[in-house]
Amino acid sequence: MASSLAGLPDFLIFFVLAIALVGLYLAIYTLATMHNELALIRENVISAATALGFSLVGFALPLASAIVHAQTIVDCLVWGLVALAVQILVYWLVRIVMPNLSQRIASGEMAAALFLGAASLAAGIINASAMTF
């Protein structure tokens, strides 16, 4: 039994770091976008929940890869921050293609939300697979 729990301290460290990074991601991402996702979600705007949900998965995938590949907690932190930056970049790149993106999401338009969500998810998958340090 004791050997089964030998990895528990490392698990807890990486898990707590991941939760903190997810919280940081949500705080920064929602500030970086031109619409207030959380307020829209509270108002039951499905497009806002869809876009934010897919972007969160697009962040979690490379974060999980960082946890798997990290040699140290600092490695995990650095690559988690890289994953965060990639998702912010994706939002701004999609805004170049669709300048009225935030207004469309705030208006409940699912096409805009799904396009942003798909771009976020695709970037997260590519980001996760590129983390082979």
51 falls within a domain: yes
Tokens 């930056």 correspond to: 85
Amino acid found at 51: A
- Domain ranges, residue 67: 14-130
Q: In the predicted model, what is the mean pLDDT of residues 84-105?
A: 97
1 falls within a domain: no
pLDDT at 11: 93
Residues belonging to the chain = 133
Annotate 89-122 with DSSP letters as a single string. Answer: HHHHHHHHH-TTHHHHHHTT-HHHHHHHHHHHHH
95 falls within a domain: yes
Residue 121: which pLDDT band, with cuts at 50, 70 and 90?
very high
45 falls within a domain: yes
pLDDT at 133: 63
Provide the percentage of residues in the chain whose pLDDT is more than 70.
98
pTM of the model: 0.93
- The structural domain count of the chain equals 1
Instruction: Check pLDDT > 70 for residue 2.
Output: no
Q: Higher confidence at residue 4 or residue 21?
A: 21
8 falls within a domain: no
31 falls within a domain: yes
Q: Which of 35, 86, 30 is nearest to 60 (CA)?
A: 86
72 falls within a domain: yes
Q: For residue range 33-86, what is the model confidence (pLDDT) as tens digits?
A: 999 999 999 999 999 999 999 999 999 999 999 999 999 999 999 999 999 999
91 falls within a domain: yes
pLDDT at 103: 97
Q: In the predicted model, what is the mean pLDDT of residues 84-113?
A: 97
Residue 1: which pLDDT band, with cuts at 50, 70 and 90?
low
Instruction: Report how far apart, in Å, the C-alpha atoms of 126 and of each of 58, 62, 122 are.
Output: 9, 8, 6
Q: Which of 64, 52, 28, 31 is nearest to 105 (CA)?
A: 52
Backbone angles phi, psi at 120, to 5 degrees: -65, -45
Q: In the predicted model, what is the mean pLDDT of residues 106-130?
A: 97
